[in-house]
Amino acid sequence: MGIESSLETTDTVTHADTPTALGTTQITGNQRDIEYKPNANVCTTGGPPDSFTYQLNNNTATNYTADVIINCLNDPPVLTLPGAQAVTFETAKVLPPIEVKDVDAGSSILVFNLSVSSGTVDLASTVGLTNVVGNGTAAVSGEGPLSSLNAAFNGITYTPDSGALADELNITVDDQGATGSNASGTTGSGSVMLNITAPQPNVQDDIASGPEDTNILVTVLGNDTPGAASLSMDPASVSVTAAPVDGTAIPQASGVIRYTPDPNFNGADSFQYEACNTNGSVQGACSTATVTLTITPVNDSPTLVAISDFQMVEGATHTQEITVGDVDHNPGTLTVTAVSDNGTLLPNADITILAGSGPTKRLIRVRPTDGLTGVVNVTVTVTDAASASTNRTFKITVVAPDVTIRNVTDGGVSVRPGETIGYTVRYANDGSGKAEGVVLKVTVPAYTTFDQAGSSAGWSCSDNAPAGTTCTMAIGLVNAGNTGNRIFAVTLNSSVPSGVSEIQVDAEVQDDGTNGDDANPANNQDSDKTPVDRSILLKITKRDAPWPAGSDSLIEAGDTLLYTIRLENTGVTTAEGVVLQDTPDAHSPLVVGSVTTSKGSITSGNDAGNTNVAVNIGNIATDETVVITFRVQIVDPVPDNITSISNQANVIGQNFASISSDDPDSADIDDATVTTLGSRAVLAITKIDQLVNDSNGNGIPSPGETLGYTVKIENQGQAPASNVVFLDTPDTSTTLVVGTVSSSGAAAIVTDGNGSGDTDVRVTIPTLGAGEAVTISFNVIIDNQLTGDIVEVANQGQVTSTLLPLMLTDDPDTPQANDPTLTTVATRPVLRMTKRAVVTDTNPDGQSGPGDLIDYTIVVRNVGESAQNVVINDELSSLLTLTPTAAGSDLVQTSRGTVVSGLNAADDTVRVTITELGNGESATISFRVKIADTLPAGIQTVANQATVLADGVSASVSDNPDTGAPNDATTTSVTADVIMRAPMKDLAAMGGLAEPGDEIVYNPTIENVGNRTAENVRITGTLSSDTELLFDTIFPGSGGQIISANAENFELLLPELQSGQTWAVQLRVRIRGTACSAVQNQFTVSADNMTVEILTDDQDTTEPNDPNSTSIHCGSMLDGILLPIIRLQ
């Protein structure tokens, strides 16, 4: 080691002796230091020190002497070892010399240890050694001087154990601290690898055989030996070193190799394998051998690709291509046959096998028996020359449409001349195949015209199409088993020959034949006859007109009206004892003496004091018409709330029910005759505000500032308004500025507002003509002493006039009608804050939950005075963690101010400061959080709410604008729940009323309105005793499965129903013959991850979770049938 000495002088060293007796010196450190380095392995402990002389640069040439004492240290023994040694299996080996050196040892005693793990060690000599233990064993130890150790190590003999395959000689020598300060001793160590050469195992070739397409297991170690009795063959060492050409060889347990020939391979093949010997823990030597295999041929059965089931229409021929094959034979030589299991529907003679597009293709041509439908299974067999065969069966469904007119019905009513009647045309497809291009044809009956308004939309006929016209209705596709109906309405002529007692409607249905001939054309037509009721049919109309004739058509107060009433008997029976009665409107009294009649006697109306009209007409014969007239005069003035007058006559008789008159000038039936009164003045009044004097320059109304009001009164009617008066009392928080009231436009007089002491505004407009307007303006001063952050000043004027009701001014800046004009006055800063949340579904599973992202947007608006030192603070829920919206982006973004918290993902608070936020200004803050990947039990929502404050402004909280609640936290649902609804519709398959033997179609729709996917959704049910399930017609819906079904029970399964999805199924049941009131059915819905089962709910009722109930009709066909609408003309 080196020793550096610093001289305590300002002089520099000019000379230092080197070398010294025991070392060397060197001048360093800017000529001020001398470094001394002793020679290797020297020390002066107990002896004279080493020394050297040196001179300083002080012009004296004086020599100085430095003594150096070198302390003694003990060096460890050093071992010189030979490299790895090759050792012959189970043979002793004399190892090369191992030399030990120790510069400090001298004649001191050293301790040694030798050890091996799989053999024994013999020292070359023990002379000079003491305490020798274990010589000739696996561990030897002893002690002695250095020379004796080197003699003992000069030719150590190593003898391996029986079966040993690897070993290592480990040596340590300890000089026990022979010399130096570390008297506890110093150790040297090392090791010599002993590589034992194992004998080669005797690995023999193997021979094996087997049939094609069959695995062959070859026990390759069965004839192999390890090469030494102390060794064994290692099954785990078996590996394939050269793969077979026509198959695969894979080692198995216990030294077995599984050979798998390639498909259909036969012949010779071989592979090479390697196996090794072992002593149980160490693998030894390895050798290779060859396995020769003989694969014997086997005749393979021909192949036939599965044939898909198909559906075909009756009367058609269908050709189906199939694919055959045979690895052992030419596919073209294969024999193909086909057999039907329903010889009636498809005789074997009508199955033909034809050549296909190539040797592996065949065509099967089938021609089912005409006129028959149903299901037939066809089995196809393929046979090769060696009589091996394969067969497959497929199903053919032969279908045909059968469109039918179930019935045409008028509901069992009769019709009178001039009346309209609707016929329900019910159609169906009773066949097994769909019908396309379905068209209804109905002929307009004699003595009628087509009524478009009362008919279903889509008929080809125009309104009032005459008798004999054929009207068509394009239905289009009607699937098998489906039904429908259309309404066909006609109007009976007002005049019908006396010999006509009924009308007949003929209906027909056809399809376009695309899907085969109609299975039963005989049921394609139906008709219905409706009796014509000609007993008594009085038509009574009443019209109004200004009187005298030629008068202005504008009816106003004081005008006279003429009413004309016509009574016409269009029936075949005389109306007996007819009496007309009429009481005029209270605002249009009768003009006494004005009543006239073309038949009968006037019993009231022409005598003094009469207020109503009464005419005793007597009998009215068939086709006879009676006309009655009278006048009324409209009162003057008419009350303000009266805009029309109404009048209706009533007719009674001895052989018919009471009848009311009809206004023929309106579309309504049997309605009163209404006369609209002429237009009058219509006033529209608006009032707006504006800031006139903005003393503080902040642009918003403040205490002490001046507001200006502008009122506009406009006459939008057709008559002038008289004596219009505007009156306004300012809000109590304001004071009228006297002298500021003015008007423009129509002539107006300011009567109050400009005089000393006036507190209200009053303006009079003697006449405001139609289309004229007047504008009134005045100012008010906002009081200085207002309480609260924001004060709303309300002001509303009122207008009165002759003939019009009191009216209020309207603020046109709001959607409300006739509302006060509101002015917001700010007395200090007012901060409004909203916070919205938008969820990103990261799964995506269609719902918010653990691991999803929420983007929050906070908007702070100042609707008051300018705010100073605004602080927005948002403490995050413990379930939320800040995360960037994009790589490298800030965690929090703000449109104004500075983000002081929320800069790191670990921050649990977002804080933004804004120096100033002026009136009307806003700041937007946005950040993204991640919902915790796991949530505590019971957590259903994550709620978060921010606060905002400023100088002189108390803290307020954010509001979620997407809810109706004020100042509420922004809440996000995170609960993953399955929530189901099960509405169900029922429909009698025939339409209308159901009868025993009819079918009912149930259409349950399962809706997952929760936020979690429902697993293994099931619909189960037991049918009521008066219905039976047509289980072979169940439609399980998209993705659904039929688990079980019979006439009484069923179970359907959908593996999963995601949130927001629906599962629609269809069930058909037949009403048993014993049912005669109503049948009820209700089914159960469940899911693996839904805790509570639910029941289907009749969606046609308001009652929740109620069963579907279908009325059953067992009496006369007229009972309960809906009657058509009869309209009087």
**Rounded distance between C-alpha atoms, residue 1073 and residue 997, angstroms:** 6
Q: Looking at the structure, do residues 425 and 441 belong to the same domain, yes or no?
A: yes
**pLDDT value of residue 1120:** 39
**Rounded distance between C-alpha atoms, residue 431 and residue 315, angstroms:** 14
**Rounded distance between C-alpha atoms, residue 435 and residue 32, angstroms:** 119
**pLDDT value of residue 97:** 96
HSE (side-chain half, CA atoms, 13 Å) at 1065: 28
Domain boundary among 377, 399, 421: 399
Q: Which of 8-22, 471-485, 911-925 has the lowest mean pLDDT?
A: 8-22
**pLDDT value of residue 710:** 96
Q: Looking at the structure, do residues 843 and 815 belong to the same domain, yes or no?
A: no
Q: Looking at the structure, do residues 221 and 330 belong to the same domain, yes or no?
A: no
Q: Could you list the residue range(s) of the whole structural domain that residue 227 is in?
A: 206-296
**Rounded distance between C-alpha atoms, residue 1063 and residue 477, angstroms:** 24
Of 292 and 46, the structure prediction assigns the larger pLDDT to 292
Q: Looking at the structure, do residues 267 and 229 belong to the same domain, yes or no?
A: yes
Q: How confident is the model at residue 1 (pLDDT cuts 50, 70, 90)?
A: very low
Average pLDDT, the chain: 88
Answer for the pair 445, 501: CB distance below 8 angstroms, yes or no. Answer: no
**Rounded distance between C-alpha atoms, residue 832 and residue 958, angstroms:** 8
Q: Average of pLDDT values for 727-732?
A: 94
Q: Looking at the structure, do residues 292 and 309 belong to the same domain, yes or no?
A: no
**Rounded distance between C-alpha atoms, residue 84 and residue 65, angstroms:** 55
**pLDDT value of residue 1075:** 67
Answer for the pair 492, 459: CB distance below 8 angstroms, yes or no. Answer: no
* DSSP bridge pairs for 875: 909
**pLDDT value of residue 1125:** 32
Q: Looking at the structure, do residues 730 and 793 belong to the same domain, yes or no?
A: yes
Q: Is residue 420 part of a domain?
A: yes
Q: What CATH number is associated with residue 170?
A: 2.60.40.680
Nearest to 1061 by CA among 980, 967, 1129: 980
**Rounded distance between C-alpha atoms, residue 427 and residue 403, angstroms:** 7
* DSSP bridge pairs for 78: 101
Q: Which of 395-409, 666-680, 1080-1094 has the lowest mean pLDDT?
A: 666-680
Query: 252-283 b/e with 16+ CB inside 10 Å = b?
Result: eeebbbebebeeebbeebbbbbbbbbbbeebe
Q: Is residue 1116 part of a domain?
A: no
Domain boundary among 197, 229, 254: 197
Nearest to 944 by CA among 854, 860, 875: 875
Answer for the pair 731, 793: CB distance below 8 angstroms, yes or no. Answer: yes
Q: What CATH number is associated with residue 350?
A: 2.60.40.10
Q: How confident is the model at residue 844 (pLDDT cuts 50, 70, 90)?
A: low
Q: Is residue 963 part of a domain?
A: yes
* DSSP bridge pairs for 543: 564
pLDDT tens string 381-393: 999 999 999 999 9
**Rounded distance between C-alpha atoms, residue 167 and residue 190, angstroms:** 14
Q: Is residue 1119 part of a domain?
A: no
pLDDT at position 86 over 90 = yes
**Residue 84 CB-density burial (10 A; 0-12 exposed, 13-18 middle, 19+ buried):** exposed
pLDDT at position 140 over 60 = yes
Structural domain count, the chain: 9
Q: Is residue 1128 part of a domain?
A: no
**pLDDT value of residue 1119:** 41
pLDDT tens string 427-440: 999 998 899 999 99
Q: What CATH number is associated with residue 1009?
A: 2.60.40.1530
Give pairs for 304-311: CB < 8 Å, separation 24+.
Answer: 304/380, 304/382, 304/390, 304/391, 304/392, 306/392, 306/394, 307/364, 307/380, 307/392, 307/394, 308/394, 309/394, 309/395, 309/396, 309/397, 310/394, 310/396, 310/397, 311/396, 311/397, 311/398, 311/399, 311/433
Q: Is residue 1123 part of a domain?
A: no
Q: Which of 323-337, 656-670, 694-708, 894-908 has the lowest mean pLDDT?
A: 694-708
Of 997 and 1116, the structure prediction assigns the larger pLDDT to 997
Q: What CATH number is associated with residue 277?
A: 2.60.40
Q: Looking at the structure, do residues 641 and 755 belong to the same domain, yes or no?
A: no
Predicted model pTM: 0.38
Torsion angle defined by CA atoms of residues 36, 38, 44 and 45, in that order, rounded to the nearest 10 degrees: 90
Nearest to 689 by CA among 681, 700, 704: 700
Q: Which of 215-229, 474-488, 955-969, 985-999 has the lowest mean pLDDT?
A: 985-999
Domain boundary among 912, 942, 973: 973
Amino acid (one-letter) located at 199: P
For the chain, the distance separating the N- and C-terminal CA atoms, rounded to the nearest angstrom, is 134
Q: What CATH number is associated with residue 920?
A: 2.60.40.740
pLDDT tens string 611-620: 999 999 999 9
Q: Looking at the structure, do residues 279 and 317 belong to the same domain, yes or no?
A: no
Q: How confident is the model at residue 1117 (pLDDT cuts 50, 70, 90)?
A: very low
pLDDT tens string 582-607: 999 999 999 999 999 999 999 999 99
Q: Looking at the structure, do residues 670 and 554 belong to the same domain, yes or no?
A: yes
Q: Looking at the structure, do residues 693 and 802 belong to the same domain, yes or no?
A: yes
Q: Is residue 1125 part of a domain?
A: no
pLDDT at position 738 over 80 = yes
Q: Looking at the structure, do residues 408 and 394 belong to the same domain, yes or no?
A: no
pLDDT at position 160 over 60 = yes
| Token couple for 538 | 């009085």
Q: Is residue 1117 part of a domain?
A: no
Q: How confident is the model at residue 442 (pLDDT cuts 50, 70, 90)?
A: very high
Place of tokens 């198959």: 247
**Rounded distance between C-alpha atoms, residue 175 and residue 218, angstroms:** 62
Q: Looking at the structure, do residues 865 and 960 belong to the same domain, yes or no?
A: yes
| Token couple for 158 | 């190593």
